[in-house]
Amino acid sequence: MTAATQSAQSRPALQSWKVTLPCTRIEAEALDGDIAAFALMERPPVLMTSEAAPDDDNAWQLDAYFEGKPSAAAIKLLRSMVPSAAGTKPLVEALPDEDWVTLSQQGLEAVTAGRFHVRNLASDPEQPGQVNILIAASRAFGTGQHETTAGCLTMLDRMRQVGMRFNNMADIGTGTGLLAFAAMNLWPRAHAIASDIDPVAVEISAENAATNGVPLGAGPGRLALVTAAGANHAAIIGRAPYDLLIANILAGPLIELAPSLCALVEDGGTILLAGLLDTQVDAVLAAYRAQGMRLAERTDRGDWPTLRLRKRPRIGWKRPKRLNPAARGEAPGFGSI
């Protein structure tokens, strides 16, 4: 997606709004990514660009979908992104009570990341020689369009290429289930569990699993789905320790969850982190290094890094065994990107 946003949270629904501005093709292409300033907002908008007139590079359109009425500062930021619209009054309108996330995601181009080809429309052709995954436009985010999701897909593919093997995997803040599906494709005999704070995201993940032939359940090669705030679920804790844990959320909850997530991972195990900006890497790494993790690899897609961490072995009385069942491991109000 062209939005820098997180999974819809368990919060009261707000009126949806749209801001429309004219732009040029060059400006539209510059917006083909994620806007760091919007990523820091509690409810970042979904940005969509389209041709207003065929074969006219100066006749394009920017539509920004907001959950709640956009502030003057947000509109000012939008205007700064399309200088050609200077002097043009933006069209700001409240939308009908519809599923604006689905509407804004419809028609997004397929994304190829590593061996994975992610389509959002069933009518889009599959890519020969690729692992084709269909994640339809839905009420939950994580369609592969976001740079952090694509970065995780690429990193997972690279990990498999260099011969890494995993037997027990967890995807915390799964969104649409995409990263869990990808990991299961790479390591099909592993146990796997995926969670999200939003029960709607968990429902969507189950639907997407059926669409993509991913079996649900508790055994090897099957995906368990649970609704949980961070690591706060008996099923997540009971399956620990994990040799691979994926957390594609945001910098704030990544830092808050560092102790509980690291406690879930076995010695020598891997944590894949994404959802943070490059300016937030030092703070996130400091939180995880304090829990015995080390940075093994980093890749960047625009302003969005993907971090692969490994847990240092510990000896003697400091050696971690399993997560304390009394540890809640919550990050209320946060879900996946």
Q: Over 50: is that where the pLDDT of 245 sits?
A: yes
- Do residues 306 and 228 make contact, with C-beta atoms less than 8 angstroms apart? no
Chain segment 306-327, per-residue pLDDT in tens:
999 999 887 544 444 444 444 4
Q: Is 279 marked within a binding site?
A: no
Among 324, 209, 192, residue whose Cα is nearest residue 263: 324
Range of 12-26, 136-150, 218-232 with top mean pLDDT:
218-232
Fill in the amino acid letter for 265: V
b/e per residue, 205-235, with b = 16+ CB within 10 A? bbebbeebebeeeeeeebbbbeebbbbbbee
What distance separates the 2 farthest-apart alpha carbons in the chain? 69
- Report how far apart, in Å, the C-alpha atoms of 69 and of each of 16, 53, 88, 164, 202 are: 7, 28, 20, 47, 27
Res. 146 pLDDT band, cuts 50 70 90: low
- Do residues 301 and 273 make contact, with C-beta atoms less than 8 angstroms apart? no
Specify the pLDDT at position 97. 62
Q: Is 173 marked within a binding site?
A: yes
Chain segment 15-65, per-residue pLDDT in tens:
788 899 999 988 887 876 556 667 667 677 878 888 888 778 888 999 888
Q: Tokens representing 264?
A: 């879930």
Q: Over 90: is that where the pLDDT of 141 sits?
A: no
Among 103, 106, 141, residue whose Cα is nearest residue 124: 106
Q: Does 273 or 249 have the greater pLDDT score?
A: 273
Q: Is 24 marked within a binding site?
A: no
Specify the pLDDT at position 48. 80
Please state, rounded to an integer, the average pLDDT across all residues of the chain: 82
Q: Is 248 marked within a binding site?
A: yes
- Tally of CA atoms within 13 A in the half-sphere of 222 that contains its CB: 8
Q: Quick one: how far is CA 114 from the chain centroid? A: 16
Strands 116-119 and 111-113: antiparallel
Alpha helices in 6-118 (DSSP H): 25-30, 36-39, 72-81, 100-105
- Do residues 216 and 224 make contact, with C-beta atoms less than 8 angstroms apart? yes
Instruction: Evaluate the CA torsion angle 98, 104, 107, 113 in order and state its sign.
Output: negative
Least confident range of 170-184, 193-207, 293-307, 309-323:
309-323
Cβ contacts of residue 156 below 8 Å, gap of 6+?
114, 179, 182, 183, 186, 272
Least confident range of 34-38, 141-145, 198-202, 261-265:
141-145
Q: In order of start, what are the domains of the chain with their CATH numbers? A: 16-98 (3.30.70), 146-318 (3.40.50.150)
What's the pTM?
A: 0.68
Res. 99 pLDDT band, cuts 50 70 90: low
